[in-house]
Chains A and B, each alone.
Chain A
Amino acid sequence: MQLRDKYRIALLSAFALGIHGIESLFPAPIPWLRLGFANIITLATLVLYGMYPAIMVTLIRVILGSLFSGTFLGPAFLLSLGGGIASTLAMGLVLSAVPRLFSVVGLSIIGALFHNISQLIIAYFFFVQRIEAILLITPFIILLGTLTGTLNGFISEMLINNLKNSAQTIQNVSQ
């Protein structure tokens, strides 16, 4: 790994952690509804720098985030870890398999969907073990996840555009 990549991963992880922290201070309108703004950073990392940095950013964000909030190795950590890895992998695989089919917004929706599905599966096997209860909330979770995923996709799209523009400006100035 190049030194430049390490700097990038560190910086992006810090952004993701900050967003994650601020989001956890918001009162949630519904107990299990999270806006998942940290995924904006994961998605931008994935599109701009590729799969490996995106996975690293997700892992660092989940592990450090849970250490700061005191949920490390607890149920919330397990859900967060599973959801984070599943969504990053899903978005990365879709992006590399069919690069032009989905835009950033589509990728964000896919990420949100896999995040939700993996969390429901983890919740079923480790915590709830009642399939009717899980099936009953699945459509609600997926509906909300699709809406927040779309919102995050648009924000991520803007972020990626800004980062690309500013990178170009820097290059033009230095040339």
Chain B
Amino acid sequence: MNLRTLLDKTTAADRLFFLLLIILSLSGIFFIREILPESQTVLIDADGKPAYVLPLNEDKTVSVEGSEGKTIVEIRGKRVRIMDSPCRNKLCIRQGWVETGGVVCLPNKVVVTIRGHEENDRGVDAVTR
């Protein structure tokens, strides 16, 4: 029995159902991330007090008052950076864009943390079954 006769045995309903499932699941793979609400948030603490709680998926630039002056935090494309800060060595600015974890400007006492999807961020070394 060759492949041809096997394929001939399938009905129209078989093929339609197969195509439908393939199309639905493929589009599901691409679109489910868009439908699901983004649960990651950006927490900004200034001088030991919480200043902002912002969603990571909305582009926004905010300014917070630290102990030394204004720190500007930018959220863009699901990433965060400290754009400007009045600290001396500018380590926080040089750290650039971050997607997980956070950025800290220690001299100005500004802490930017990304929260959510903690299970996924934990990371796995190995899986045994």
Contact = CB atoms under 8 A, between A and B. Distances in A.
Contact of B25 (A102, A104, A130, A146): A146
Given A132-B36, A136-B36, A158-B6, A101 B11 contact: yes
Given A106-B13, A109-B14, A139 B26 contact: yes
Interface size class of chain A, counting residues whose CB lies under 8 Å from the partner chain: 20 to 34
Given A31-B129, A158-B1, A161-B1, A109 B33 contact: no
Interface in A120-150: 130, 132-133, 135-136, 138-140, 142-143, 146, 150
Interface in B1-27: 1, 6, 9-11, 13-14, 17-18, 21-22, 24-27
Contacts, number: 70
A75 B26 CA distance: 28
Contact of B18 (A100, A138, A146, A161): A146
Given A109-B14, A109-B18, A136-B33, A154 B25 contact: no
Nearest to A136: B32
B89 interface: no
Dominant SS among interface residues on chain B: helix
B1 to A, nearest CB: 6
B15 to A, nearest CB: 8
B32 A135 contact: yes
Interface residues of B, number: 24
A103 B33 contact: no
Nearest to A137: B32
A175 B29 CA distance: 57
B127 to A, nearest CB: 6
B13 A102 contact: yes
Interface in A100-116: 100-106, 109-110, 113
Interface in A52-98: none
A125 to B, nearest CB: 18
Contact of A103 (B11, B27, B29): B11
Given A135-B32, A140-B25, A143-B25, A106 B6 contact: no
B1 A139 contact: no
A113 B21 contact: yes
Contacts of A132: 36, 39
B50 interface: no
Interface string B19-48: 001101111110011001001000000000
5 contacts: A31-B129, A101-B13, A113-B21, A136-B32, A140-B29
